[in-house]
Structure 1
Amino acid sequence: MTAVVGRCVSARSGLLGVCLPAGLRLVHRSGARLLAGGGGPVTGPSGAQSRRQHTEVAAGPVEVDLRRLEGEDDGIVEVLMCRHKARNALGHVFVSQMRELVSSLANDSVVRVVVFRSLVPGVFCAGADLKERSVMDNTESDLFVHSLRSLMTQIALLPVPTIAAMDGVALGGGLELALACDLRTAAYSAQMGLIETTRGLLPGAGGSQRLPRMVGITLAKELIFTGRRVGGQTALEIGLVNRAVEQNQTGDAAYREALSLARDILPQAPIAVRMAKEAMNRGVEVDITSAMAIERMCYARVIPTRDRQEGMAAFIEKRPPRYTGE
């Protein structure tokens, strides 16, 4: 698997939002898209997805893109945030493109893990686009924040495990995006925080609800009341992230850790993983008796699957299971 890191190309160039390594260009050969100067084919959108992206971004650059890994990593999909000039700020175009891509993943049975990562050095997502927000009236501002909240819910409801790889700043809505994911990795050098109270606001895209559920109500209140930022090591200690690592020379240590985590999930039975996510997500919101009933319903859905039979057979035959998601 070849990592694709760098800039995103405008659809005006006819390349349909392919993110390229800096200094490289695409060369068309018999319909294939290859990296000039060596390298293999670039995995980009195709078919109906290409037509959708072309229609959507024809008037401007791609700010959010999709990349499907191949080979042994087949089943891992990356959502690439590449709004370089605005540090992945959550503007209208960014949110619209993110919503489109997340929606396309919701019913994709091939997807097993989704990794949200940034191609902007030193930044995961800087939060709200304050330039856009400054020209909104009260009604427009309320509607836009509602759309942000809806997007985070859309991410949280994806049926497969999601991982946010924070290699840099994740503030306000940027951290709320990470909180909407199931798992989070961070570089020690990353800075994250719900800083809305320092701007006369409160977290409005799910942060005031998801952070207390993650780190506890008392600590969440301290972090939100003060607008304090924390680094990757502290985030690990308080349970805000699952894994934290030293940053590397290429600035993508959290992404590499997220990819390692995704690879740990990838071999497991897909339906079982989806049902486990549903059982936990639904169960944590209700009383324990209702939660047990939810677990029973989810368990009942895996009993008739071929994957369950394969898991039993592999155990008896002392071999690795070969799950197909059936």
Structure 2
Amino acid sequence: MEDRNMEESSIIIQEYGENGTIFVLTLNRSKQLNAINKSLLAELRYELKKISSKKNLGGLIIKSAITKAFCAGIDVAYVQSLSNVEAAAFFAELAVTFEEISHFPCPTVAAVNGYAFGAGADLALACDIRVAGRSTRFRFPGPQFGVILGTHRLVNEAGASLARKIALTNELIDADTALQYHLVHDIAEDEFILDTAVEWMKKLTRISAHTYAGICEICDSLETDADKTQLKTPIEYARYSIEQGNFNERLTQYIEELKKKK
């Protein structure tokens, strides 16, 4: 495996295999448990754009540099420094990024270990296949402070009834339950999570590009007979949910309630 970035970068890109057709994107903001701020999001989008333009692109694996967390979600301190308008723009850009990953021009696999909370869980769900480590814990806290982000993918993967329960209750979901809920497709011991993700990717890369694109298009369609013209896009939902009322007040109140439970 060949390094393409300096280790101090928040994102490390590696190429796997003799022909370098599988790219491994490692989240490397380790001290902050890969919490997403403006800088990490910008670097993530830059690297994704670079990878998507590769002629030899066969697959993309997204993983973490640490076992404690895949991605702990948004960087709370950063988001608390934003105005409502700025926060709405940030979450809209997050939503755009997840949409781009979910429509990436090659198969994608998330190797999820440790905490995958909020935007981190949404990042994992944006990938075609998710492999969980035994330590994996999912949580979707956004609705608790008024954020709608990635819920359509949660519905597509878990089904409407379970998605409603997960989104509204802030349930902490372990690896076995995540498999039961269809949030992940496989469980591996933490030390073998990348190896397992690579094995999955080898299966996916056997499928022709046009077949892959067609299957993803079918699976991405919402399983409902409702009039879809009345629905907002995922990006519109993210922006709209922040702009209602005082977002930072809601976020601060949620954090204070968490502290009381400790």
With the shorter chain as reference, the TM-score category is 0.7 to 0.9
**2:216 counterpart letter in structure 1:** N
The residue number in structure 1 matching 2:85 is: 139
- Whole-Å separation in 1 of the counterparts to 2:172 and 2:91: 22
Q: Which residue of 1 aligns with 2:16?
A: 69
Structure 2 unaligned regions, length at least 5: 225-262
Identify the structure with bigger relative contact order (alpha carbons < 8 Å, sequence gap 6+). 2
Distance 1:133 1:154 in 2: 22
Query: Once the 2 structures are TM-superposed, how far is the Cα of residue 65 of structure 1 from its aligned partner?
Result: 2.0
Q: Identical aligned pairs, as a percentage?
A: 22
How many angstroms apart in 2 are the aligned matches of 1:264 and 1:169?
27
Tell me the distance in 2 between the aligned counterparts of 1:275 and 1:228: 38
- The one-character-per-residue Cα deviations of 1:222-278 (angstroms, maximum 9, x if unpaired) are 00100112111111112111101233xxxx332221112122334x25xx1x22232
Give structure 1 stretches of 5+ with no counterpart. 5-15, 20-60, 289-326
Output aligned runs, 1:1-326, within 5 Å.
1=1, 17-19=5-7, 61-71=8-18, 74-198=20-144, 200-204=145-149, 207-247=150-190, 252-266=191-205, 268=206, 272=208, 274-284=209-219, 285=221
Shift of 1:118: 0.4
CA shift digits 1:62-93 (9 cap, x unpaired): 1112111232x731110011001211011111
Local SS of the residue matching 1:66: strand
Aligned CA distance change for structure 1 residues 286 and 146 (closer, same or farther; 3 Å): closer
Contact in 2 for aligned 1:83/1:120 (Cα 8 Å): no
CA contact (8 A) 2:156 2:223 kept: no
**Is the contact between residue 186 and residue 232 of structure 1 (CA under 8 Å) also seen in structure 2?**
yes
Please tell me the residue identity of whatever aligns with 1:255: L
2:182 maps to amino acid: G
Give deviations 1:282-313, integer Å, cap 9, x for gaps: 2242799xxxxxxxxxxxxxxxxxxxxxxxxx
Q: Residue 116 of structure 2: SS of its match in structure 1?
A: strand
CA distance in 1, matches of 2:82, 2:212: 38
- Letter of the 1:62 partner, please give it: S
Tell me, yes or no, if the aligned pair for 1:173 and 1:203 is still in contact at 8 Å. Answer: no
| Aligned length, in residue pairs | 223
Once residues 223 and 152 of structure 2 are traced to their aligned partners in structure 1, the CA distance between those partners, rounded to angstroms, is 18
Q: CA RMSD in A?
A: 2.1
| Distance of 1:257 and 1:217 partners within structure 2 | 29
- The structure with the greater share of residues assigned to helix is 2
Segments of 4+ moved more than 6 angstroms: none
Q: Which amino acid aligns with 1:203?
A: I
TM-score by length of 1: 0.64
- TM-score normalized by structure 2? 0.79
